Chain A
Amino acid sequence: MKKHRTSPTTDSRYKPARPFNADEFGRVRRILGGKVLFVQGDAAVAYGALLAGCRFFAGYPITPATETSEILSQLMPRVGGVCIQMEDEIASVGAIIGASRAGVKSMTATSGPGFSLMQENIGYAAMTETPCVIVDVQRSGPSTGQPTEGAQGDIMQAKWGSHGDYELIALSPSTVQECLDLTIEAFNLSETYGIPVILLTDGIIGHMREKVVLPEFEEIELTWRREPTKPKEEFQPFLVDSTKIPEMAIFGTGYHTYITGLTHSETGYPATDSQVDHHRLVQRLCDKIRDNRDRIVQVERDYSDGDKDTIGIVSYGVTSRSVNSAVKMLRQDGLKIDHLRLVTNWPFPEKEVAELSERANRIVVPELNLGQVYHGVREAVAGRSEVIPLWKTGGEMHVPHDIVELVKGGVK
């Protein structure tokens, strides 16, 4: 019988993001217009994705993340990609995982309720070591909560949302510029480590307009997954070298790869009855991130002169903006303030917080929830400093004055 192909439209064949070069980057830059833009955080995320080489997006409408979908629906076809709306968030993550395995950088964007729905498939991406980026524009929860209000209530869920043991990376931008920069970073990290990366923005930054400067091709680095270096007959999809990160055979390249969420051996085949295989796999999924935590973790330090008897503030995301103003006010009053901003939420910057606790007698942790990063800080501080939370919910940011009062008063 004659050889048969199901899809005759060869000219529509999707171009993988792998040969991402200066020309393609330049084309995206031309589509985005000027070098300096004034846009929303949700838009900056979309632009960052296009510049990073993302060419597949699947999403489901949800406030306050919808703008990212809308902008990518507009622009993605223009750069040769595809942007689709799925029937729910579960399907959205499923589609981006399928697309990633078929050879493209892929992304979805959502908010709290959708992020909850995505958790099972995020665990699948972690277990199968599939690169993808999930943007969570956090809003007040639990449940439907305050759809139009920002919050920082998903920090713990980002790490612990799916069942079982795994590691992933979560980043918290605090400006619209960082929404763009960290989206590119999220793609690089997901491609390098073969994991889902979560970008934790929020309803405030997502909808806030700010100046954004687009990068030049030479200024940024774009990574791509390591493809098989061994011949097909010898290739084992989950056999790793000292990096503990497997090479990834893309579907349709002749490797007959078997990918499952079941516990699997190096061959990829199920090994569900083996305690040894399971432990080795799950330990490696964690180690490939933990071993590289110094390369992954990013923080920003704004410390006072001197190295002891300071007052520390640990902040992240949109809350850092209130803290920046408060720090200025407190320093004008002659106080020695150390501000540690966590750009990376996961893996938790434990070492950096511990170092701060060597300097600071007290550490204030303002966040838009009722206690999430607070717990990580307490664990890292291990009793060396007093840790004072400043929790706020309801959709409004901290007023700098609240932080100043707390720091000066020293008591809650």
Chain B
Amino acid sequence: MSGFDTLLAQSTAPRAEQARALGLPTPRVERWKYVPTRTLARTAWVAPTQRDTDTFALSGGQFLNIPTVDGLTEVQSGLTESERLRLDAMATAHGFSLTQDALNGHQLILEVGASASVTLTLEHLANLSLEAGFATLVIRVGSNASLSLIETFEAEAASETNLDSLRMLVSVARDGRVNHLKFQAANAGQLIFHAVDVDLSENAQYTLDTIDFGSKMARSDILITLSGRHANTDVRGLALCNGSQYHDTHLAIDHAVGETTSAMMFRNMVDDKGEATFNGRVLIRKDAQKSATEQSVANLLLSERARVNPKPELEIYADDVTASHGCTVGSLNKAELFYLKSRGIAEADARAFLQYAFAEEVVERVAHPQIREQIETRLLGELTHGELIAELKDALDV
């Protein structure tokens, strides 16, 4: 049983029946162990509608205003065989991924031409109450091309339950590069499901900054496959959970060939009754010699009832690799607090300083200045005593 039964019953998609039969994953499905499925299961989800806008947006499972810029083409000829296989793997993981597949609205395929340089800003519009929108975006980045992909979320004040699901397939050809920035500050009623599958050819690069502040719950499944030599990826993430928010990122990096490098840095800051899950898995295959990976995961717990479920995993089958990893869970550092307080900074302000500092490790690396500014403003708003830092920034930053 799931809240999608009615929609699935109406669907003629090949996997609709299977999705309905299987229902939502239970906690026995390891990857879904901590996901609160109550709202998913109990909401009587309805088909989405689209809102009006002028910019490139995802609204109710449809992409609107597909940009026409130099170097970017919308492909009409459908998926390649390998894309189809990757999407199949994504779709058949469990009952919910089948649902995502069966209820998919729009599948958009975009191609960035060889040596082109394109910036795409996609805004996720808030869906209406009880609406569940599902979409798929396939992006091919040509050789030596560069794509800057920015995803933002409309932070409507409305807090009615709604669902936004986006599956993304990204294939980067030789020497291509993708900088992906996702700033999720969605409305408090939204459930967000993001699945990203990236494949990197020789000397291709993919960086991801993923910032999760908003929504009721957000789940990201990210798979990055380094399939060409000298491919490299760098993923940085920050999730803030306040109230009873749940944020969950499952990140897997697959070093399929040698001389590939990866780095992941993830920070969870959890307050109130919030909960964060982070699963970071790095696989270095037998033939992926001379690969290197760095993993840094830190979790900051700010209340008694806050919970984190961190799980860093390193699976290494090659013998000539460099791997470093670290995972910490803790509360604010006492020595740092004392230092600030000994300078006359009040306890509440000192705590805000340190929370800000924890988040800044990720935020300060966001390359896009305007979005970084938005992230910082929102971050300071989320902190219980962020006003002092906001004032200092205003007064002292040039």
A, B: real partners: no
